[in-house]
Every structure is written in C-alpha cells, then in structure tokens.
Amino acid sequence: MVKIMECNDKNCFVHGNLSIRGQVLEGKVVSAKAKNTVIVERPTVKYIKKYKRYARTSSKIPAHNPPCMNAKEGDMVKIGECRKISRTKAWSVIEILSKSEKEKK
C-alpha cells in the first residue's frame, strides 16, 4: 500500500466527508489527464448465448482522484462507489494496489 498524505479535498473519503458505499472494484488507470479525475478500465468476459462463446469486453469508469491518492496512468487501483460528485463521477479511488512500470524505474 502507498503512503497517504494529508489533503484539503472535501470529496476525499479519508480527509473529507465523502462516504464509500456499494460496490468496490479494481481496474487499471488508462487516463489521468483531467483535474482530480482518472478513467479506470475494467476488463470483463461476457457470454454470448447465440454463439455459445465468450467475448472480452471492457468498461471505462470515471473516478475521483483525491490529491492524497494521486493515481497515475498505468496504476492498478481499487475504486469504491459513492454519491454523485459530478455529472459523470460516482466513484472514488480508495487505494493504489500497484504502481505503473514507468514509476518503478
């Protein structure tokens, strides 16, 4: 686990007043370009009944990235469901599971 620093974000689940409830998912950060937002991609396997086969799909979830977490592209993160923070964000980064290969070097 990565060391958590202090932040002044009111939408931080540790230092603010945001509660995490509902689902907790894991995925890889594919974009961290927006301010305090990351896009987390989750690969899934879907069964197609007509063809009796499985198909790989993925879903991209926008999540709030508090300054104390500071997840970067390529990181594996754990996200939790919370109240709506903006028009698209209803998830928040809870924990960074592993850093990207670029960060490790």
pLDDT digits (tens, 9 = 90+) for 21-41: 999 999 999 999 999 999 999
Cα 40 to Cα 43: distance, rounded to the nearest angstrom: 10
Whether the CB-CB separation of 71 and 29 falls below 8 Å is answered with: yes
pTM, whole model, 2 decimals? 0.85
Model confidence band, residue 3 (pLDDT cutoffs 50, 70, 90): low
Cα 53 to Cα 46: distance, rounded to the nearest angstrom: 9
pLDDT of residue 7: 83
Model confidence band, residue 19 (pLDDT cutoffs 50, 70, 90): very high
49 part of a folded domain: yes
Whether the CB-CB separation of 89 and 37 falls below 8 Å is answered with: yes
From the list 6, 24, 27, the residue with the least C-alpha distance to 98 is 27
pLDDT of residue 103: 67
19 part of a folded domain: no
Mean pLDDT of 80-95: 96
**Least confident segment among 6-20, 38-52, 74-88:** 6-20
81 part of a folded domain: yes
pLDDT of residue 14: 87
Domain extent at residue 80: 24-99
More confident residue, 64 or 9: 64
1 part of a folded domain: no
Whether the CB-CB separation of 65 and 80 falls below 8 Å is answered with: no
3 part of a folded domain: no
Mean pLDDT of 94-103: 87
CATH of the domain at 77: 2.40.50.1000
83 part of a folded domain: yes
Q: How many domains does the chain have?
A: 1
